[in-house]
Amino acid sequence: MGTIKDRYAIVGVGESERSRKSGTTPLHLALEAANAAIKDAGLKATDIDGFMNYNEGDSCTSHQLATYLGVRPKYVKDIQGGGASTEMLIADAVALIEAGQLNTVLIYRSMNGSSGTRVGRGYDPDMLQGALAGGSFVIPYGSASPSQWFGMYATRHMHETGITKEHLGHVCLSFYEHAQRNPKAFLHGKPLTMETYLATPDISSPFNIHDSCLELDEGNAIIVTSAEKAKDCVSKPVYIMGMAARQCHPHAHYWNDIDQVASDYVAEELYENAGVTPEDIDVASIYDCFSWVVMRQLEAYGFAKRGEVGDFVAEGNLKIGGKLPTNTAGGMLSEGYTHGMNNAIEIVRQLRHDYEGTDRQVEDCKIGICTGWAGPDIAGAMILRN
């Protein structure tokens, strides 16, 4: 992947309305998001020859989306995948373009995440036992939610590194503050104070409702093409400096070793491919299905040393104006949860300086990171520049 540096770009991003109850299907949401991204890029739908999506059995197919955009696609791909799939599919798209198979690829995630199937909920327990690696050693004990799965990691990690509930609160407060600057954030107009945060009871320790992502109905889309073809687009291209498409925990039953996460394996490859260091990053999108997941990644990606992450977030470094403005649209904790893709869209908009002249713009930002976390088991990330 080292040789792709700056040779591919994200040229279009778009989203549908976000709501608690869309009243429509994931296909409609995907069409709305795709049309927005196509318009953003200044392309025609027929300029796109590859369509990819990730889902949890809760979406429409890429072939359906292409069909109703009036396109006969050359290539379609639908994967079952968690919150590191945006980065992985972008890498797949780049590889297929590099291989001469495709010209321009649209990647989307569309889901009725609130009114339809909710990720990690309502599944048949016996199905889950079979679907999870070592599931029969987990499910019979009542552990069926990502909050419980990742919480097991969080409790130990917080114990070892001195991270407190209040530190988690600083992650939430930082992102909620960003949501107050984003009229389209679902929690716009609903600021959070530390007092309220600390008074909110846990759902499953160490997480309360504020520590958990905001499940909504929404579609997101991203268009990737070559730097060459990007010149034909009306948008400012955001170039891919480097990627680590995917890394995995050594064991599929990741509770086997809760002292490590897949993200620990991503950073070295990522920074080497991009040719930058953590100090070079101006703006970040850090996958935030839960507040602690951000903390653990700040450590994994070298933004703060192990044991110092709590102080790092308490000092306000995740806020616009801090050392590492992160999840500047509010993130999945307060903008909305589109399984990671909305965070990728935001980093593109920041790097294009779409918010110039407003308090949302990270001033003069040039280089950004976007991380994906499908769980402690699977992760990936990319570094982008303007």
Partner 1 sequence: MTQAKTAYQKPIPLKDIDNAPYWDAADQHQLALQKCVDCTAYSQPPGPTCAKCGSENVTWEQLGNDIKATVYSYVVSYRPFLPGFQEELPTIIALAQLDKVPEVKIMGNILNCEEKDLAIGMPIQMTWVDITEDRALPQWIPATN
- The catalytic residue positions are 287, 337
Beta strand 104-112 pairing with 50-55: parallel
How deeply is 245 buried, as exposed, middle or buried, from its count of CB atoms within 10 A (0-12, 13-18, 19+)? buried
Is residue 74 exposed (0-12), middle (13-18) or buried (19+ Cβ within 10 Å)? middle
- Min CB(54)–partner 1 separation in Å: 23
Whole-number Å distance between alpha carbons of 263 and 244: 10
Cβ distance to partner 1 smaller for residue 130 or 275 = 130
Asked, as a colleague might, if the bond just before 201 is cis with ω within 30 of 0, I would say: no
Residue 369's SS3 state is strand
Token pair 């069909």 is at which residue? Answer: 67
Q: How far is the CB of 66 from partner 1 (least distance, A)?
A: 37
Q: Which is nearer to partner 1, 250 or 321 (CB)?
A: 250
**Closer Cβ to partner 1, 101 or 136, answer by number:** 136
Identity of the residue, 144 or 309, whose beta carbon is nearer to partner 1 in the bound complex: 144
C-alpha dist (Å) from residue 326 to 34, 83, 243, 304: 25, 17, 19, 14
Long-range contacts of 275-279 (CB under 8 A, 24+ apart): 275/5, 275/241, 275/242, 276/241, 276/242, 276/367, 276/383, 277/302, 278/302, 278/303
Nearest distance from C-beta of residue 288 to partner 1, angstroms: 19
Q: Taking Cα atoms as reference points, which of 125, 115, 132, 19 lies closest to residue 58?
A: 115
Q: Which two tokens stand for residue 360?
A: 């949302």
Provide the binding-site residues for partner 1, judged by CB under 8 A: 121, 125-126, 128-130, 133-145, 147-148, 151-153, 155-156, 159, 201-206, 250-251, 253, 255-256, 258
CB closer to partner 1 out of 134 and 278: 134
The minimum distance between CB 3 and partner 1, in angstroms, equals: 32
CB of 301 to partner 1, least distance (A): 23
